[in-house]
């Protein structure tokens, strides 16, 4: 009989090293494709929290005093290490999230590294302004905020950590990062890489735990900003808590994004976009186009191709198998939530075109899989059309007129993303300009390069990640007035 294998235990990463907590409290991390506990993580207790803040303060002294070129050089070294360790890191992401290797291998680490590289390049180019006002003048300095907090979701754990660390560190801040308790390892590996690259101790600390640790961060008086990625409901709580100490916030929240397919669209391309925007990362992508509006003239053709390709081209199974393109959902609880939504869709009168059930693939029989699911005959007021499901569930809606579909697409309190497929260049821009969403695609879906700002309208978010403007969200402007004459005083 083989003895039971004790899962490894990871500690919090504070001031350049792993630090044991005092409470002894830990949580399990489960591989969603196998249902096995793969490791345990120590919760950031009071001792860790205290050490994290002291370390961050010390780190800020050193990091913010460096020139931007020095910081940039160190961050670029970290980028090199991230790329060199792509496969090791991608494997961690697959085991933690259940997503397919074929995605993680070319997306998760790469897009994280890209963003750090982008902001490392921008950091030395940040300039203030100077202006004469008579003989006097003023100038402005872009100064870092200080200690920032990052709180991450579980769908792109390492990428989210990089997307927050990149601009924060480039601008001279330090970051206390709390990954999702479902996927805590990637951020620890990033912390190791930063230290190896030469980032000073305390500049990137990782604290582990669930909501309580997040709440501690959002309430802490020494933290100047919170950048949050997660659900709308949690985002509201984070913002409310941050308001007590007037923290700056960036909110990257959920969506229920529309894809508009007009009669003149290239149908094959539009089907590709709809499938990517609903089944990539088994549907756990915030920008997903879960409301697909198809114009009546092209409806039958679209549905036929969508059904055929969904039934023939999707391979669910062990996510480490490079041929698998549909992984497991993050947890058993989430799998059930997605299945509950599917049952509700059926109950409310939508018709299943394909899918609709849990899957138990031979290569990963205990995983939390849900079949790629497409509903037709959907109505705008159905629950599955209104609420974010965060699984592989697509709702198809029919439309006739341009004005009608714009109105229906905008009829939601969410506004993260939107897409339009048409060959008519004027219509493409006219329609996209009217859609209330922060991230829009024309004849494309899902691409998110480091250069492009991303973030939501309405309840989908506040502020932006990536793109030049994000660096400003991690700095504050100091104006310095310089008097060149004697003071003209009545006293």
Under 8 Å between Cβ of 359 and 339: no
The footprint of ligand NAD (CB under 6 A) covers 151-155, 178, 180-181, 210-211, 214-215, 218, 229-231, 234, 237-238, 252-255, 286, 388, 390, 416, 456, 461
Q: What minimum distance in Å lies between the beta carbon of 254 and ligand NAD?
A: 3
For ligand NAD, give the closer residue by CB, 262 or 341.
Answer: 341
For ligand NAD, give the closer residue by CB, 161 or 265.
Answer: 161
For ligand NAD, give the closer residue by CB, 173 or 218.
Answer: 218
For ligand NAD, give the closer residue by CB, 71 or 164.
Answer: 164
For ligand NAD, give the closer residue by CB, 234 or 422.
Answer: 234
Distances (CA, A) of 384 to 193, 247, 272, 329, 397: 41, 35, 22, 18, 12
Q: What minimum distance in Å lies between the beta carbon of 300 and ligand NAD?
A: 32
Q: Which residue is nearest to ligand NAD (CB)?
A: 214
CA contacts within 13 A on the Cβ side of 85 = 20
**C-alpha angle with apex 318: 317 to 322, nearest 5 degrees?**
95
Distance of alpha carbon 295 from alpha carbon 291, whole angstroms: 13
448-468 per-residue burial string, b: 16 or more CB within 10 A, e: under 16: bebeeebbbbbbbbbbbbbbe
Strands 9-10 vs 36-42: parallel, antiparallel or unpaired:
parallel
Q: What is the 3-state secondary structure (H, E, C) of 193-214?
A: HHHHHCCCCCCEEECCCCHHHH
Report phi then psi at 252, rounded to 5.
Answer: -110, 100
Q: What minimum distance in Å lies between the beta carbon of 235 and ligand NAD?
A: 7
Terminal Cα-to-Cα distance of the chain (whole angstroms): 93
For ligand NAD, give the closer residue by CB, 56 or 462.
Answer: 462
List residues with catalytic annotation. Answer: 252
Distance of alpha carbon 426 from alpha carbon 129, whole angstroms: 39
Q: What minimum distance in Å lies between the beta carbon of 50 and ligand NAD?
A: 19
For the four alpha carbons of 390, 394, 398 and 402, in that order, the dihedral sign comes to: positive
Q: What minimum distance in Å lies between the beta carbon of 309 and ligand NAD?
A: 25
Q: What minimum distance in Å lies between the beta carbon of 178 and ligand NAD?
A: 6
Quick check: helix, strand or coil at residue 139?
Answer: strand
What letter does residue 15 receive in the DSSP assignment? T
Cα–Cα nearest to 95, from 174, 173, 183, 13: 183
């Amino acid at each position: 009989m083989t003895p039971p294998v004790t899962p490894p235990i990871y500690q919090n990463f504070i001031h350049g090293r792993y630090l044991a907590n005092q409470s002894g409290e830990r949580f399990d991390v489960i591989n969603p494709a196998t249902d096995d506990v793969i490791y345990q993580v120590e919760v950031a207790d009071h001792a860790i929290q205290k050490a994290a803040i002291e370390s961050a303060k010390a780190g800020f002294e050193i990091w913010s005093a460096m020139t931007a070129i020095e910081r940039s050089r160190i961050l670029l070294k970290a980028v090199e290490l991230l790329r060199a360790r792509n496969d090791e890191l991608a494997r961690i992401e697959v085991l933690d999230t259940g997503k397919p290797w074929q995605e993680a291998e070319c997306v998760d680490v790469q897009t994280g590294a890209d963003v750090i590289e982008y902001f490392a390049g921008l950091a030395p180019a940040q300039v203030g302004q100077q202006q004469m006002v008579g003989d006097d003048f003023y100038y402005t300095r872009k100064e870092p905020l200080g200690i920032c907090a990052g709180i991450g979701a579980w769908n792109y754990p390492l990428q989210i950590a990089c997307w927050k660390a990149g601009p924060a560190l480039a601008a001279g801040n330090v970051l206390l990062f709390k990954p999702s308790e479902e996927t805590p390892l990637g951020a620890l590996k990033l912390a190791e890489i930063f230290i190896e690259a030469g980032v000073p101790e305390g500049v990137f600390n990782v604290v582990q735990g669930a909501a309580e640790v997040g709440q501690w961060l959002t309430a802490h008086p020494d933290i100047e900003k919170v950048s949050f990625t997660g659900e709308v409901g949690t985002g509201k709580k984070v913002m409310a808590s941050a308001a007590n100490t007037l923290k700056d916030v960036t909110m990257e929240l959920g969506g229920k994004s529309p894809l508009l397919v007009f009669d003149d669209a290239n149908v094959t391309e539009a089907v590709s976009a709809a499938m990517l925007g609903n089944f990539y990362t088994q549907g756990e992508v915030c920008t997903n186009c879960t409301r697909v509006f198809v114009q009546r003239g092209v409806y039958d053709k679209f549905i036929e191709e969508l059904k055929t390709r969904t039934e023939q081209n999707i391979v669910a199974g062990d996510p480490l198998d490079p041929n698998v393109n549909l992984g497991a959902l993050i947890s058993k609880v989430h799998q059930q939530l997605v299945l509950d939504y599917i049952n509700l869709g059926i109950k409310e009168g939508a018709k299943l075109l394909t899918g609709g059930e849990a899957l138990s693939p031979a290569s990963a029989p205990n995983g939390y899989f849900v079949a790629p699911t497409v509903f037709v005959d959907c109505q705008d007021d159905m629950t599955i059309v209104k609420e974010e499901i965060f699984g592989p569930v697509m709702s198809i809606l029919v439309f006739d007129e341009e004005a009608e579909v714009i109105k229906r697409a905008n009829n939601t309190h969410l506004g993260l993303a939107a897409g339009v497929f048409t060959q008519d260049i004027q219509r493409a821009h006219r329609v996209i300009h009217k859609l209330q969403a922060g991230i829009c695609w024309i004849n494309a879906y899902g691409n998110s390069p480091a250069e492009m700002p991303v973030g939501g309208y309405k309840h989908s978010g506040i502020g932006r990640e990536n793109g030049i403007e994000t660096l400003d969200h991690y700095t504050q402007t100091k104006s310095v007035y310089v008097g060149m004459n004697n003071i003209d005083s009545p006293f």
